[in-house]
Amino acid sequence: MPSRTEKRKLQTQQQRQHKQKQDAKSLKRKREQVSLEQLQDAVDQFDPKAADTTKFSNLPLSSPTASGIEASHFQAPTDIQARAIPVALKGRDILGAAKTGSGKTLAFLVPVLEKLYRARWTEYDGLGALIISPTRELAVQTFQVLAKIGRFHSFSAGLVIGGKSLKDEAERLGRMSILVCTPGRMLQHLDSTSGLQVDNLQILVLDEADRIMDMGFKSAVDALVEHLPKERQTLLFSATQSRKVSDLSRLSLKDPEYIAVHESAAASTPESLQQHYLVTPLASKLNTLYGFIKSNLKSKILVFFSSGKQVRFAFETMRHLRPGVPLYHLLGAQKQAQRLQITASYAASKHACLFATDVVARGVDFPSVDWVVQMDAPEDVDTYIHRVGRTARFNKDGKAVLFLDPSEEEAMLKRLESKKIPIKRVNVRENKKQSIDESVQNMVFKDPSLKYLASKAFISYVRSVHLQRDKEVFNLKNLDLEAYAASLGLPGAPIIHFKKGEDVKKLKNMPRAALSDSDSEFDPEKKKRKTRTKVDKMFERTNQDVLTDHYTKLIGDDNKDKAAEDSEDDFLAVKRVIKGDDLDTAADDQATLPSGAKIISGLGGEESFIVDSKRREKMLKSKKQMLKFKGKGDHVVFDDEGTAHHPYRIQGEEDFKRDGSAEAQRRKFVEDEAARVKEADVGDKALVKEKRREKKEKRKAREALESGLESAAAMPRLEVLEGGEDPLAFLASLPVAGGAYSDAEGEEHEERPRKKAKKWFEDDSADEKKTKGKKGKAKVIEITEEPDTLEDYEALATGLLDD
Ligand SMILES: Nc1ncnc2c1ncn2[C@@H]1O[C@H](COP(=O)(O)OP(=O)(O)OP(=O)(O)O)[C@@H](O)[C@H]1O
């Protein structure tokens, strides 16, 4: 048993140690404050026009950003970085235009990190920076670069691109300081996620700005910007930037600086890119492509098509023909995880061929692509520039070839010349020409699903040509469609019905969810509709006359019922509905049911279902699932005995009618309820905001107290309490206690628990931790496992950037 003196000694020693810790903390904070002030001075005094910006070290950057850049092995800024970063650091709005592959990503990510760092941004301050990308692939890539160069910062960053439930994403958004997103998904969150606070947003970035401001995204972007505060910095970047005044006002840009690094140069494509075109009739394109791939087996090739159906058909046929190089295909309709996996595999390949739609035409940075092939002419020159920009990136060499039908040649070349694109005509060598016509015909003849794909590819190609606005280049009348159908192995050209007034860009950019039936998040009405089986969908198909024998057989009446019965999709299909009155007989029926089948009562016992599988049974027992069948319920009022009646029964018919028709009353009721819900929603949001503010104030007060700040001026953003109290008086009431703090009411709280590190990355070695831990901020995190899923990347950012 330690004696009393020993105990006292131990206590004093502990107190001394605690004080030392507090002093060290406060010293660290003071040092940080001083270096932040120095950084701000350096930025204020920096003159972007006069300064030498050829090295990152010459720029007034914080040490976490500088270390992130260095650790990512970026030595000197590229032209666009050297010109845009200094201006953006000064807080100016920017319209940045630079060739593909010239490093625009870093040109906006560095200012984003710096802006938040200098504002001492924390997770309690809400969303600080929003980066919008037109495609999921590009958003993922931007997020990866952010995680790389931001690894020494303590911000949390998130990726909002859909592909998982809105609720899962919403739960994490509230504590993010930086978000990289696609417009549609972000808008959904802004409309529905109450914890997401954007009122303080400091900086908005639009990557591939011309595309994002384009018609396809117009409504989503306009609605999204409505949610954001007008007082913010805005950066727009693209390889094909427009200076449209209407766009600038849509985004409330203030006196933006236009930075275009290729304005004086001859072309808007990289100089290291060799560009060619090849005149090949539409019907020979597949042959030409096969010959091209066979002659470039030791290359990395990216082939663009105008539609996903063509991608699939070309991929399937080439796969059967085994040209001798790994083949991949990528299109918007694929599942998110699959898209990410294909992108990663192709990026990692040395020699491979990827068939893709324009989903990867912009911004995606596949390393070392040797050839970009355009099977179908691009819709405009901007699309051409972005497609060919997937090669010859960052001063590397690259080659591109555009396949043109003779009818497209003249007009397309005129378009390219107008933007000074240096392109040369080439021909296929006679000895390299190959014909796969017969093989394709055989394959399509033997395989009904391939025949179906061929007809779909034909239809989507013809439709895409029909939808193009540039009729000088794209004219169906000039194309030999019969020959094209034959080249796809079809016995004749399918008949196609066109809808009037469709807009190709709108269709292209429409979120997949809005086009497909699989993801109903975009259209809640869809959820309510009857479940559609594969067979239902097949019957709804347009252009059915192009179906193969296999399919036409299926749509015969006899098979229709059988197919519907066999469908796997409609697991909630009601085999037979038995009304409540018939339940007794139904119970008798139980004995006569097929083995394994039984009768289950629906909710409320009014309807019953005969089920013949465990899965069906489980679903039928789920209250949530059964709510679908329950209807909306009626409006009832209760009499003195507590019995429910329809309102007019208890009111008397005359009284009831006095309040208007039943329909008018119903509408009024719905409107009132909707208004009530909306009001409650505003209240909820305000409450969340208020709680956040309180939390933030408490934390800041606690920090200030710990660091022993003497003056109120040193307290960032501390507001005067209601009733005009002096904030310092409030501070003075707080006890100087380590490990605990008390709130305004004087209630004691435990110190906020620290977050656990995410499981697949760990701090640097224990030794390093010890030494660096003493120095303070230098937190180095090593990624022990390469992240590969979206969740991994998000968790990585949260973990990497968390304090
Ligand atoms: N300062 C730098 N030093 C070395 N490499 C760099 C530098 N900045 C960027 N890069 C590299 O250059 C490549 C292209 O960069 P980035 O993707 O940002 O180009 P981009 O201009 O956005 O292209 P696009 O217009 O196609 O979107 C990337 O691989 C990137 O890692």
Are 181 and 120 contained in the same domain? yes
Is residue 155's pLDDT more than 50? yes
Q: Outline where DSSP puts E strands in 357-512.
A: 371-374, 398-404, 423-426
Nearest CA to ligand 1 atom 3: 74
Count Cβ atoms within 10 A of the Cβ of residue 146 and give its class: 0-12 exposed, 13-18 middle, 19 or more buried.
buried
Q: What number is the average pLDDT over the span 64-89?
A: 95
Same domain, 217 and 75: yes
| Residue 595 in domain | no
Which atom of ligand 1 is nearest to 72's Cα? Answer: 31
Environment class of 414 (CB within 10 Å of its CB; exposed 0-12, middle 13-18, buried 19+): exposed
- How far from 114 is each of 60, 153, 357, 456, CA to CA, in Å? 9, 10, 36, 50
pLDDT tops 60 at residue 544: no
Looking from the CA of 607 toward its CB, the CA atoms found within 13 Å total 16
CA–CA–CA angle 344, 347, 348 (5° rounding): 85
- Please give the pLDDT value at position 550: 45
Q: What is the mean pLDDT of residues 172-176?
A: 85
178-181 and 157-160 as β-strands: parallel, antiparallel, unpaired? parallel
pLDDT digits (tens, 9 = 90+) for 33-67: 888 888 999 999 888 888 888 999 999 999 999 99
Q: Could you give the residue ranges of the DSSP H alpha helices within 447-582?
A: 448-467, 481-487, 504-509, 512-515, 524-528, 534-540, 549-554, 557-566
Ligand 1 pocket test, pick from 57, 262, 393, 397 with the greatest ligand atom count within 8 Å of Cβ, gives 393
For residue 106, being part of any structural domain is answered with: yes
Cα 146 to averaged position of ligand 1 atoms, centre (Å): 13
Q: Are residues 277 and 256 in the same domain?
A: no
Residue nearest to atom 5 of ligand 1 (CA): 74
CA of 665 to the centre of ligand 1 (A): 61
Q: Average pLDDT, stretch 365-376?
A: 95
The pLDDT assigned to 319 comes to: 93
Q: Residue 538's pLDDT is what?
A: 58
710, 714, 716, 717 alpha-carbon torsion, rounded to 10°: 80
CA 259 to centroid of ligand 1, rounded, Å: 17
pLDDT of residue 708: 53
Ligand 1 mean position, distance from CA 414 (Å): 30
Same domain as 214, residue 292: no
Closest CA to 72 of 109, 46, 38: 109
pLDDT of residue 312 exceeding 70, the answer is yes
407 vs 609 pLDDT, higher one: 407
Residue 47 lies in a domain: no
Top mean-pLDDT range of 184-198, 314-328, 599-613? 314-328
Specify whether the CB–CB gap between 339 and 136 falls below 8 A.
yes
Bigger pLDDT: 275 vs 764: 275
- pLDDT at res. 246: 64
What number does the ligand 1 atom closest to the CA of 138 have? 27
Q: Poorest-confidence range of 531-545, 584-598, 621-635?
A: 584-598
Q: How far apart are CA 313 and CA 335, in angstroms?
A: 18
CA of residue 138 to ligand 1 center, whole Å: 13
Higher pLDDT: 192 or 403? It is 403
Residue ID of nearest Cα to ligand 1 atom 27: 363
What integer pLDDT is reported at residue 249 of this predicted model?
73
Is the pLDDT confidence value at 719 over 60?
A: no
Q: Using an 8 Å Cβ cutoff, are 269 and 239 in contact?
A: no
781 domain residue, yes or no: no
Q: What are phi and psi of 257, to 5 degrees?
A: -95, 125
CATH number at residue 324: 3.40.50.300
Rounded-to-integer distance, Cα 292 and Cα 278, Å: 11
Instruction: Note the pLDDT of residue 250.
Output: 80
pLDDT tens-digit profile of 184-205?
A: 889 989 888 777 889 999 999 9
Q: Are strands 748-750 and 740-742 parallel, antiparallel or unpaired?
A: antiparallel
The larger pLDDT score, comparing residue 310 to residue 242, is at 310
Residue 442 placed within a domain:
yes
The pLDDT of residue 204 is 96
* pLDDT for residue 70: 95
Same domain for 83 and 216, yes or no, is: yes
Shared-domain flag, residues 206 and 93: yes
Judge if 307 and 362 occupy the same domain.
Answer: yes
Q: Whose CA is nearest to atom 14 of ligand 1?
A: 101
In a domain, 393, yes or no: yes
- Asked if residue 610 belongs to a domain, the reply is no
> What pLDDT score was predicted for residue 504?
52
Which is higher by pLDDT, 377 or 266? Answer: 377
- Centroid of ligand 1 to alpha carbon of 393 (angstroms): 7
734-750 tens-digit pLDDT: 222 333 333 333 333 33
Lowest-confidence segment of 50-59, 154-163, 255-264 by average pLDDT:
255-264
Quote the number of domains for the chain.
2
Domain boundary among 453, 469, 488: 488
Give the number of the atom of ligand 1 that is nearest the alpha carbon of residue 239.
Answer: 25
pLDDT digits (tens, 9 = 90+) for 208-244: 998 888 877 888 888 899 999 999 999 999 988 766 7
Distance, CA 542 to ligand 1 centroid (Å)?
44
Given a contact cutoff of 8 angstroms between Cβ atoms, the answer to whether 56 and 77 are in contact is yes
pLDDT tens for 487-510 read 999 998 888 877 665 555 555 554
* Mean pLDDT (whole number) for 561-590: 35
- Using the atom order of ligand 1, give the atom closest to the CA of residue 238: 25
What was the pLDDT predicted at 245? Answer: 62
106 alpha carbon to ligand 1 midpoint, in Å? 7
Q: Which atom of ligand 1 is nearest to the CA of 390?
A: 26
> Whose C-alpha lies nearest to ligand 1, atom 9?
103
Distance, CA of 328 to CA of 344 (rounded, Å)? 11
What is the reported pLDDT for 453? 94
Nearest residue (by CA) to ligand 1, atom 16, is 103
768: confidence class by pLDDT, cuts 50, 70, 90? very low
Same domain, 442 and 469: yes
Same domain, 281 and 137: no
Mean pLDDT value across the chain: 76
Q: Give the rounded distance of the alpha carbon of 241 from its chain centre.
A: 22
In this prediction, residue 57 carries a pLDDT of 92
Question: What pLDDT was estimated at residue 262?
Answer: 65
Residues flanking ligand 1, CB < 6 Å:
74, 77-78, 81, 98, 100-106, 239, 363, 365, 389, 393-394
User: Among the three residues 426, 456, 488, which one is the final residue of a domain in this structure?
Assistant: 488
Of 331-335, 683-687, 792-796, the one with minimum mean pLDDT is 792-796
Query: Which comes out higher in pLDDT, residue 108 or 740?
Result: 108
Q: How far does residue 142's CA lie from ligand 1's centre (Å)? A: 11
Q: Is the pLDDT of residue 793 over 80?
A: no
pLDDT in the model for residue 557: 38
**Residue 330 sits in the same domain as residue 448:** yes
The preferred substitution site among 99, 365, 383, 385 for testing ligand 1, maximizing ligand atoms within 8 Å of CB, is 365
Q: Are 387 and 358 contacting, i.e. CB atoms less than 8 angstroms apart?
A: yes
User: Do 277 and 235 share a structural domain?
Assistant: no
The more confident residue out of 562 and 388 is 388
- State the pTM of this model: 0.65
pLDDT score at 472: 92
Predicted local distance difference test score (pLDDT) of residue 31: 83
> How far apart (Å, rounded) are the C-alpha atoms in residues 280 and 268?
26
Using CA positions, which residue lies closest to atom 30 of ligand 1?
Answer: 103
pLDDT of residue 553 exceeding 70: no
Specify whether 360 is located in the same domain as 231.
no
Handedness of CA 175, 177, 181, 186 (dihedral sign): positive
Between residues 681 and 438, which one has the greater pLDDT?
Answer: 438
Q: Residue 443: what pLDDT?
A: 94
Does residue 163 carry a pLDDT above 90? no
Identify the pLDDT of residue 33. 83
- The residue range of the domain holding 126 is 55-260
Q: What is the pLDDT of residue 243?
A: 66
**Confidence bin at 29 (pLDDT 50/70/90):** confident
Query: 32: Cβ–Cβ under 8 A, 6 or more apart, which residues?
Result: 777
Largest CA distance in the chain: 104
Domain edge (last residue) among 458, 488, 518? 488
The percent of residues in the chain predicted with pLDDT above 90, rounded, is 41
pLDDT at 744: 35
pLDDT band with cut points at 50, 70 and 90 for residue 329: very high
Q: Is residue 291 part of a domain?
A: yes
According to DSSP, the residues that pair with 423 across neighbouring strands are 275
**Residue 700's pLDDT is what?**
78
Reported as a pLDDT band with limits 50, 70 and 90, residue 566 is: very low
Atom of ligand 1 nearest to the CA of 107: 18
Residue nearest to atom 4 of ligand 1 (CA): 74
